[in-house]
Structure 1
Amino acid sequence: MQRLENCTAVVTGASSGIGNSIAARFGREGANVVVADVRREPKLDDKRSVFDKLEECGADSLFVETDVTDETAVEAAVDAAVDEFGGLDILVNNAGIYYQYEAHETPTEDYDAITDVNLRGTFLCSKAAIPELKNSDNAKIINLSSIFGLVGGGSSAAYCASKGGVTNLTRQMALDYAEDEINVNALAPGIIKTAQNVEWRENDPEILADWEEKTPWPRFGDPEDVADAAVFLASDESDFITGDILSVDGGWTAQ
């Protein structure tokens, strides 16, 4: 039996990167997958559309154009999932953006954009989904935090603030909805090889050396490493786990 059979999942930011891999893996595990993203096709140089992957494994899927900072759009994505598949079981708050600045150099509009997508978006999507999740027998919320939601990261003031907020929002929602049996957990990826960071990995030897030094495992992560952890948290195997922040970081935060 597939681990997510008969479940419906909304995955935000699922067209690209980590979200693409999570959505595709959910489809392979039997879930109906709603791709909620501002674009249908992958950004940057992601090579394969999530819809190609979902079609390949025979998963039912739906694309809903969704800006996670827009409450009306978020509510429409949840409604579309329920209308198309009859309910909602899993929400993955993956949509996120990253700009690199020290605090005193951070443009206020970029600070606002990062916190709006990463933190406010997680809140809005959860707010919209929870009434439907209360009707599920396998209700799961999986937030995407970061190692920089647990420890500081160089020149990443706004990003660290947003992901630190996601980390503690996860813990608080876990307490709020424990009686409803909604598991709320977060993933904290380390350096994951995505199109978003390929420029640094290939062209900035100083940053690359710093990342390698801080990652004890002898390689960086792949999006599939995060997807594997997401499947565990979405399945009934994690039923007694809530309020946890699971690091997928090759040991970065163990130091």
Structure 2
Amino acid sequence: MNSLNNRTVFITGGSRGIGRAIALACARQGANVVIAAKSDTPHPKLPGTIHSVAEEIRAAGGQALPLVLDVRDEKLVRERVDEAAEHFGGIDVLVNNAGAIRLTGVENLKASRYDLMHQVNARAVFLCSQAALTWLKASDNAHILSLSPPLNLNTKWFAQYGPYTTTKYAMTMLSMGMAEEFKRYDIAVNCLWPKTLIATAAIEFELGGPQMMAQGRKPEIMADAAVSILNRPGTSLTGQALIDEDVLRDDGVTDFEQYRYAAGDRPLLPDLFLD
């Protein structure tokens, strides 16, 4: 495997949860990590800001650049990507981690919430990838990694929360398209999704609270899988919607108990979109 040492990784929504875990995993390999998120000041309920994560990145052995970014703002996306590239001398990796969720059907979902999910999920993959493309072309091992699921057309995934499902699937479809479109530039484009629920604020506040978190895994499993993907050379792996556990099993990992969020033997819950 190649190392991420001295490579520049631009992560959206990286101030907490899976994004933070990926940032720290990259930092431990000596990466320059750009934390691009909205959380400039502490949230009363949610720990972590771009600045606190930047300190953790430096402590883990990486270089950090915290940037305030709302991925819905096209002009700001371009400015922040260019600022990061100029600061570190380029961009090698884009991780589309920022996300919005509301598990509600069409009947009861406000249009404004649908717009938010579309903009933060699908549209941001388009905007950020397009903005980073010039810099990724110049890298000798460029990757785009989006946190979105394999396409599963079982209607149960559309029945209760079709709006959210379609925005996440759009991320995957855009990634599949970019994998083919950018192959000529030797830019690898993949998606990554967890096999089980990941214990994050989204689970705690949007889905099922602490009880559901206890049936999930730590964000670190996604981080370890992401780093494995980002270490692959060139386009040896591209156009795939990958599952974290499968990636790590391919690397020879057999002990997944280390990733369990809560001690005990409660059954882990599979994540959305996986039958």
TM-score (norm 2): 0.80
Aligned residue for 1:5? Answer: 5
Aligned residue for 2:108? Answer: 105
The answer as to whether partners of 1:232 and 1:238 remain within 8 angstroms in 2 is no
Aligned residue for 1:45? Answer: 46
Aligned residue for 1:215? Answer: none
Aligned residue for 2:149? Answer: 146
The answer as to whether partners of 2:150 and 2:242 remain within 8 angstroms in 1 is no
Cα displacement (A) at 1:7: 0.5
Supply the AA of the counterpart residue of 2:81. Answer: V
Aligned residue for 2:74? Answer: 71
The answer as to whether partners of 1:148 and 1:163 remain within 8 angstroms in 2 is no
The answer as to whether partners of 1:118 and 1:163 remain within 8 angstroms in 2 is yes
Aligned-pair identity in percent equals 36
Deviations 1:104-159 (A, max 9, x none): 21111111110011000111000000111000001000011136877616632221
Aligned residue for 1:160? Answer: 165
Deviations 1:52-109 (A, max 9, x none): 3212113111011111111111111111111111011000010111112112211111
Cα displacement (A) at 1:248: 3.0
More off after superposition, 6-15 vs 154-163: 154-163
The answer as to whether partners of 1:192 and 1:220 remain within 8 angstroms in 2 is yes
Which of 132, 135, 155 is 1:132 aligned to?
135
Q: Distance in 2 between matches of 1:65 and 1:81?
A: 12
Supply the AA of the counterpart residue of 2:60. Answer: C
The answer as to whether partners of 2:15 and 2:48 remain within 8 angstroms in 1 is no
Aligned residue for 2:14? Answer: 14
Q: Distance in 1 between matches of 2:146 and 2:274?
A: 21
The answer as to whether partners of 1:10 and 1:91 remain within 8 angstroms in 2 is yes
Aligned residue for 1:216? Answer: none
Supply the AA of the counterpart residue of 1:67. Answer: D
Aligned residue for 2:237? Answer: 241
Q: Distance in 2 between matches of 1:3 and 1:144?
A: 21
Aligned residue for 1:170? Answer: 175
Which of 208, 218, 236 is 1:222 aligned to?
218
> RMSD of the TM alignment (CA)?
2.6
Q: Distance in 2 between matches of 1:47 and 1:11?
A: 15
TM-score (norm 1): 0.86
1:254/1:225 CA distance change after superposition, 3 Å: same
Aligned residue for 2:199? Answer: 193
More off after superposition, 144-153 vs 68-77: 144-153
The answer as to whether partners of 2:35 and 2:66 remain within 8 angstroms in 1 is yes
Cα displacement (A) at 1:34: 0.6
Deviations 1:187-243 (A, max 9, x none): 12341101221244446x7xx4xx99xxxxxx5221101101110121135741100
More off after superposition, 153-162 vs 39-48: 39-48
Supply the AA of the counterpart residue of 1:125. Answer: C
Q: Distance in 1 between matches of 2:192 and 2:74?
A: 24
Q: Distance in 1 between matches of 2:222 and 2:14?
A: 13
Aligned residue for 2:258? Answer: none
Cα displacement (A) at 1:162: 0.4
Cα displacement (A) at 1:15: 0.5
Supply the AA of the counterpart residue of 1:231. Answer: V
- Number of residue pairs aligned between Structure 1 and Structure 2: 244
State how 1:54-65 maps to structure 2 within 5 Å: 54-65=57-68
Cα displacement (A) at 1:165: 0.3
